[in-house]
Structure 1
Amino acid sequence: MNELVYSIGALPRVCLDYLNDNDIEVVLGTGHLDMETFKSIGEKISILIFPDVPFPTELLKCLPNLRLIARCGVGIDNLPLDELTKRKIHVTNTEGVNADSVAELTVGLMLALSHKIISANDESHKGVKQLYDRHLTGSELRGKTVGLIGYGHIAKKVENLLEIFGTDILVANRSPKKIKYGCQVPFDTLICNADIISLHIPLVKATTNLIDETALKQMHKETLLINTSRGGLINEQDLFKFLKNGELGGAALDTLQNEPIGMDHPLLKLPNVIITPHIGAQTTDTIEKTGLMVAKEIVNFIETATLLHPVNHFN
């Protein structure tokens, strides 16, 4: 059977060119899970390029010959990984390819919160009545202690970027790591001592609601919390309470429990919160790098029946 690659949505030109150059047929979807399409051509699909949206298990009924799911991204919490492994469907992702983009956004959010850039911009658009107003007084990154929870590709990039600001780095990670600039400490030590805390871990059962009332109580009142990882890492109800009561300095969130965020979300009402719509990897550079990485992985899989970046393993 000839391999048919189906992508839920559009792909960058570099990805399509690479696949076409290797005589691989690609069908592009509309960007949405169209069950009628899967019922129509599902039997022909052997490789599925899948975005960061929930994967309904019932979709597998339409894909009896599926061999590989290629995630255009890093997170796999949207996939029924146990069921896919049980069915011997391979999964690959593009781990590391978005590290530069997400790291830059992370540091940008630190600066935006510390210097109150968003509030200052909003006031300028409304009309500034007085310069040097006290409520727009920010703080510098230099001399601050930044805590990185997790120490993967993105956290290491953040660490490199922060070096020039003269920050002290603390790292909490589940296993021992060789830290480049800072030092590794227990989780509780980090959240008690960091001026800025940035999350860089996957969302799994053990990390769901990691930042809850218990954790927030250990932070000091000026702490800034950054999340460019997964929304489920934070208990948003607890976070709202602490921010509203002045028990936390501020938060910048690129990911939330439910996306996109509803306009009635209570966090949107707080002036010390920055929320962006999951744009960490949304740069032209990362989109092209991701597409090419996916294309190369697919070609390699078809030619060798192996993966360069496997997520699941089975005999």
Structure 2
Amino acid sequence: MEKKVFVTHELPGEVIHQLSGLCDVNVWLGPGLLPASGLREELSDCDGVVCLLTDRIDRELVEALPGLRFVSSMSVGVDHIDVQALTARGIPLGHTPGVLVETTADTVFALLLAAARRVSEADRFVRQGEWRRENRWSPDFFTGKDVGGATLGLVGLGEIGQAVARRAQAFGMRVIAWNRTPKAVPGVRLQSLESVLAESDFLSVHLALAPETQGLLNTSRIAAMKPGAVLINTARGGIVDEQALAEALSSGRLYAAGIDVFAEEPVPVDNPLLSLPNVVLTPHIGSATARTRARMADIAAANAIAALRGEPMPHCANPEVYAR
């Protein structure tokens, strides 16, 4: 019987087209994203799935699919998937590490600069006609925060954190960092989390979402940040307490924030960050360049092809399944 693979969204890149030569491929064509109930139905007789970070593959779904042989996600993080449930079944999980490092680091600096120089506020001021109505200028007109010479603190010093550090050094910034394990990086001074929070003019989060990082930047740690600091998060929303962040921003204790990821996505309309003028918000676009997304799709497809051929995935998030 021919193997069947379900792809939860049309993907860019070229490698995905090779799948049809190895199996029966079914692609969700929309409209919109595939609902959870539809995912279970579509996977009922499939050997594998190529999915996105918006597709939740939990234990209940895994246990309902006795024929599932592999999962390949077009994402670096795999917190949308129950990795333990897959590993217990010996099911390999593919992901796409490394490919989005530089692109995401660019996004960090885009948010950092936009928040520091009040770009979103100024854009709204012009578009809404306020400039014409007020036609004013003064020494403090849309003044922002200097980036050059400031201190950047990194919470997490993986590949993306290191790429951000390189950019910061080019801006003449002093770079300090906290990492869960010691790591020597040129130009970066490792410090305790408490001292990084207290000294950073700009704080950028670069951690995977896991039980030990869930809510890491909570009310007390946000309160421990340097007064007037800017917080940037392009990692995962659940790491930062959004209510505590909103309160610190609205009180003026923190200067601004640049947020690309949220605890709930799409972000609900009652999220307190949406009403604040000193927050730059983007819809999880850290890796959103055409080239990077195509490369991610190619890696996800290559992982799926390897699994179909009975070979180890080139990029497997749970490689211990191959030791069995």
With normalisation by structure 1, the TM-score equals 0.93
CA offset digits 1:196-217 (Å, max 9, x no partner): 0000001111111111121112
Aligned residue pairs: how many? Answer: 313
* Match runs of 1:1-315 below 5 Å: 1-20=1-20, 23-29=22-28, 30=30, 31-33=33-35, 35=37, 38-39=40-41, 42-43=44-45, 45-53=46-54, 54-127=56-129, 128=131, 129-132=135-138, 134-312=140-318, 313-314=320-321, 315=324
Change (3 A) 1:226 1:41: closer
CA offset digits 1:34-88 (Å, max 9, x no partner): 6467546622x11211111222433335532211111111111111111111111
CA distance in 2, matches of 1:114, 1:36: 43
**Structure 1: gaps spanning 5 or more residues:** none
CA distance in 2, matches of 1:49, 1:65: 15
Q: Residue 305 of structure 1: CA displacement?
A: 2.5
Q: Is the 8 A contact 2:6 2:43 kept in 1?
A: no
What secondary structure, in the 3-state scheme, does the structure 1 residue paired with 2:107 have? helix
Aligned partner letter, 1:57: R
Change (3 A) 1:263 1:34: closer
What secondary structure, in the 3-state scheme, does the structure 1 residue paired with 2:284 have? coil
Q: Is the 8 A contact 1:39 1:62 kept in 2?
A: no
Aligned partner letter, 1:47: G
Aligned partner letter, 1:139: K
CA distance in 2, matches of 1:17, 1:212: 44
Change (3 A) 1:87 1:103: same
Quick one: percent identity of the two aligned structures? Answer: 27
Aligned partner letter, 1:205: P
CA offset digits 1:253-310 (Å, max 9, x no partner): 1011111112232211111111111111222111100111112222233335312222
Structure 1 window deviating more from structure 2 (106-115 vs 10-19): it is 10-19
With normalisation by structure 2, the TM-score equals 0.90
Q: Residue 224 of structure 1: CA displacement?
A: 0.3
CA distance in 2, matches of 1:265, 1:189: 29
CA distance in 1, matches of 2:194, 2:62: 42
Change (3 A) 1:151 1:36: closer
Q: Residue 133 of structure 1: CA displacement?
A: 5.9
CA offset digits 1:121-163 (Å, max 9, x no partner): 1111123121346251012211011011111121122122222
CA distance in 2, matches of 1:139, 1:60: 49
CA distance in 1, matches of 2:274, 2:40: 38
**Structure 2: gaps spanning 5 or more residues:** none
Aligned partner letter, 1:117: V
Change (3 A) 1:116 1:132: farther
CA distance in 2, matches of 1:139, 1:275: 18
CA distance in 2, matches of 1:37, 1:136: 48
The runs of at least 4 consecutive aligned structure 1 residues that moved more than 6 Å come to: none
Aligned partner letter, 1:100: E
Aligned partner letter, 2:198: C
Change (3 A) 1:168 1:59: same
CA distance in 2, matches of 1:40, 1:253: 34
CA distance in 2, matches of 1:111, 1:132: 22
Aligned partner letter, 1:134: D
What secondary structure, in the 3-state scheme, does the structure 2 residue paired with 1:255 have? coil
CA distance in 1, matches of 2:212, 2:64: 32
Change (3 A) 1:95 1:132: farther
Change (3 A) 1:232 1:176: same
CA distance in 2, matches of 1:257, 1:40: 27
